[in-house]
Amino acid sequence: MGKSQNHVAIYDARRELGYSKVAILGLQHMFAMFGATVLVPIITGLSVSTTLLFAGLATLFMHVVTNFKVPVFLGSSFAFLGGYASVKAAGVALGYTERVSLNYACLGVACAGLVYFILALICKAFGSKRVMRFFPPVVTGPIILSIGLILSPSAINNCSTNWPIALVAIFVVIICNIWGKGMIKIVPILLGVIASYAVAAVSGNVDFSQIADAKWIGLPVIWENTGLSVFTGGEADFGLFLTAVITIVPISFATMMEHVGDISAIGGTVGKNFIEDPGLHKTLIGDGIGTAIASLFGAPANTTYGENTGVLALTKVYDPFVIRLAACYAIILSFCPKFAAVIEIMPAATIGGVSIILYGMISAIGIRNMVENKTDFQQSRNIIIAALIIGLALGINFSEAGAVSFMIGSMSVNLSGLAVASIVGILLNAILPGRDQAFGEQPDETLASSLGKY
C-alpha cells in the first residue's frame, strides 16, 4: 500500500493493491456513474435495467476496440435529452403512444452513433494528426471546461433537495481524500455515497417501499421497448423515423466534440496520449457503435463519462481493469430489479453532493489541458476562440430557449449550446490567422501539441 498511501499514480492495480481492493475500486466507479446514468432513463422514460446492461456492455466493447488501454466508462448521455423529447412529442401528435415514439427516437440515436463510425473512418484514412489540427487545446480546453460548468447546476439542484445530506457526501469525500490513509484515500466517492445514503436512511429521507415491491431477478430487455420492435407487428412509420433522424443525428456532431474533449481529459488525467495510442478512430468506433447497439435495444445513447474521469483524478488509480470491473458489476446488477430500485431511490442530495466535486474536476481538467499545453492567451485569436466557446456554451444552455432552433422543411432542429460552441470554436480556429498548435508537434516546434506530449 506504499504507493497508494503516497497517492501516486497506479497503473497496475491488481499487482500493487490486490484483487480485494481492486473490487472495491470497481464499486466506486460503478457508483460514480450511477447517478447520471440512471437519471437519463428516469427523465426519458427508458428502462433503468436496460441502461445498466448496455452501459456495461458498451464499456467492455470500448475496451476491446481500444486494446484495453483507455480507462473509460460509457454511461448515459444527457446531450440527446432534447432529441428524445422532440421525437416523443412528434410521435404522440401522430397518434402513437409515448413508448412507441421513444422507440423511434432510439432509432434516431442509433443513426447518430453510426456518424461516429464515419468520422472514425476519416481519421483512419487521413490520420488523427490531420483531423486533430481542428481540435487544439484552445478548442478542447474550453469545451471540457464548459462540460463541467454546464453539468454543475444539476448537482446544485440535487443538493438543494436536502443540503445537510449533500454536505455529508461532500465532507466525507474531502476528508477521505485529503486526510485518509491507504484504501480510504483511494475510495472517497464510494465512502461519500455510503455515508450520505446512510444518514438519509436513518433520518427518514428514503422510501424503501419500492425495493420491497421489486423482484430479485428479471430480464433487463423487453422487446416491445426496443428500437428494433418498430419493424415488427406492422409497417414502420418512415416519416416518424425520418423525423427522428433529422432531429437527433445533428446532435452527434456535438457529442463527438465532447468525445474528443473527454478522451483529452482522460489522457491528461492519466498522463498518456490516447489520441495517438490506441488512436482516435478506435475510441470513436467504441463510443459510436456502443451507442448504436444500445439504442437499438432501448437503452440511452452512451458517452465517455466525466464522472469516472473525476474518480481517476481523485484516486490516481489508472488501471483500465478497474473500469472493466465496474462494467461487469453494472451488467450483473441489470438483471436484479431490486438493486435497480435501490439505486432509483438514492437521495438526489447524495448524488448532488458527490457530483459537485466530480463536475468541478471536469472543468479543472479543461483548464489544466490549456495550461500544460502552454496555450498562448497573449494572442487575441486564442482569447476570442476560448471566450466564444465558453460564452456560447453557457449562454445558450442557460438561456430561456436553452437551444438554437431552426427548421429543415417541416422539421424542427435544436442545437445545444455546447454544439453551437463546438462548431464555432472549430471553425474560428481553422479560419483565424496565427494557428500555432497542431496535434503531434513538439512544444519547441510550435507551442504544444493539441493534446500534449505526456
Q: What is the pLDDT of residues 245-259, one digit of tens each?
A: 877 887 777 677 778
Asked if residue 48 is part of any domain, the answer here is yes
Instruction: For residue 385, give the DSSP letter.
Output: H
Mean pLDDT taken over the chain: 82
In a domain, 241, yes or no: yes
Q: Which one-letter DSSP state was computed for residue 300?
A: P
Cβ atoms < 10 Å from Cβ of 364? 16
Please tell me which residue, 359 or 203, carries the higher pLDDT value. 203
Per-residue pLDDT at 410: 59
To the nearest whole percent, how much of the chain has pLDDT over 90?
Answer: 28
Instruction: Tell me if 452 is assigned to some domain.
Output: no
Query: Would 248 be classed as within a structural domain?
Result: yes
C-beta of residue 314 within 8 angstroms of C-beta of residue 189: yes
Q: What CA–CA distances, in Å, run from 318 to 10, 260, 276, 331, 342?
A: 6, 19, 18, 22, 28
Count: domains in the chain? 1
In a domain, 444, yes or no: no
Please check the confidence at residue 442 and state whether its pLDDT lies above 60: no
Q: Where does residue 2 rank: exposed (0-12), middle (13-18), buried (19+ CB within 10 A)?
A: exposed
| Start-to-end Cα distance in the chain | 26
pTM of the model: 0.70
pLDDT band for position 156 (cuts 50, 70, 90):
very high
pLDDT in tens, 93-108: 778 888 888 999 999 9
The answer, yes or no, to whether residue 145 has pLDDT greater than 60, is yes
Quote the pLDDT of residue 362: 75
Q: Is the pLDDT of residue 437 over 60?
A: no
Q: Where are the alpha helices (DSSP H) in 19-76?
A: 19-44, 48-65
Residue 449 resides in a domain: no
Is residue 38 assigned to a domain? yes
SS3 76: strand
Residue at 205 is within a domain: yes
Residue 225 has pLDDT above 80, yes or no: yes
Q: What is the pLDDT of residue 359?
A: 80
More confident residue, 127 or 73: 73
Please determine, for residue 290, whether its predicted confidence score (pLDDT) is greater than 70: yes
Confidence of residue 182 (pLDDT cuts 50, 70, 90): low
**Residue 130 parent element (H or E):** helix 128-132
Give the domain range for residue 366.
2-431
Kindly report, residue by residue over 389-436, the tens digit of the pLDDT: 999 989 988 888 777 776 666 555 556 677 788 889 889 998 998 765
The SS3 of residue 411 is: strand
If 0-12 CB within 10 Å is exposed, 13-18 middle and 19+ buried, where does residue 239 land?
exposed
Per-residue pLDDT at 2 exceeds 60: no
